[in-house]
Amino acid sequence: MHIVVLLKQVPDTETVIRIGEDGKSMAASGVKWVSNPYDEYAVEAALRLKDSQGAQVTILSLGPQRAVEAIRAALAMGADQGVLVDDPATVGSDALGKARILAAALKQLPFDLIFCGHRAVDDDENQVGVMVAELLDLPHLALAVALEVADGRVRIERPIEGAKLQVEAELPALVTFGGAHAIWSPRYASLPGIMKAKKKPLAVKTLADLGLAPEQVGAAAARVRVAALELPAPRQAGVKVEGDTAAKARELARLLHEEAKVI
């Protein structure tokens, strides 16, 4: 069984975000980059299948050369090989452009399953995974919290309100993973794993290698464009109500009625 995990490098959620000079993008200087947490769940799910069924796990990423760090981290966890698509013409791609690039790269790789996070914590679009499935004409099973592969089929459980829903499909298929850290908690890389990761194969491909023309992706081909970025308005200071219990209750009721106007 061959599993390809789509892995994106994103800013650390604790990084202070600054808007770039163009007013439409994030300033990249001083940013700490990490693997997208939801994609790490996908890596863990793939490695569990490798442990139980001997699957071969490939990490596929789209991004600049710094994304090699995220791929190597997944290789240190136990993945077998990595592929990075690094081409200046991909900068500015929207979700469809990114999906088109990843789908083209996947066509050159053997796979029975494609795993990825259901969203990335930077743009939070929740679109690329399902678009890749559509472009490759694959079934898409979303938000897996349990996973079973047998007899040429994949079966997942996904949460719905008050219950869990079972969904299954024939292979090949694409599965996304959501907010279930307790279920897909990523393993730590061991020291031997880190050493082995340095020698595992990692191929770097360009758009030409994938058979794509620059005008098919990037900012020029984007159907969705960022008009502007703005930081949230500073929060106003809260109001502290003083006095005994009865006085606090009266004053709170007055504030809610006269100032907040919610009652």
The yes-or-no verdict on residue 27 having pLDDT over 90 is no
DSSP per residue, 152-185: TEEEEEEEETTEEEEEEEESSEEEEE-S-TTTSP
- Of 2-16, 125-139, 172-186, least confident by mean pLDDT is 172-186
Model-level pTM? 0.87
Whole-number pLDDT of residue 71: 98
Mean pLDDT of 157-170: 93
Q: How far is CA 142 from CA 83, 94, 168, 175, 176, in A?
A: 24, 21, 11, 6, 5
Query: What is the enclosing helix (H) or strand (E) of 251?
Result: helix 245-254
Question: In CATH terms, is domain 2-221 a member of 3.40.50.620?
Answer: yes
- CB-based burial, 86-105: b 16+ in 10 Å, e otherwise: bbebbebbbbbbbbbbbbbb
Whole-number pLDDT of residue 181: 75
Write down the domain spans for the chain. Answer: 2-221, 236-263
Q: How far is CA 202 from the centre of its chain?
A: 20
Secondary structure of residue 84 in the 3-state scheme: strand
pLDDT class of 180 with cuts at 50, 70, 90: low
Distance CA 177, CA 161 (A): 17
Mean pLDDT of 77-91: 97
Mean pLDDT of 26-33: 86
**pLDDT tens column, 101-150:** 999 999 999 999 999 999 999 988 899 999 999 999 999 999 999 999 99
Secondary structure of residue 192 in the 3-state scheme: helix
Question: What token pair was written down for 261?
Answer: 């106007």
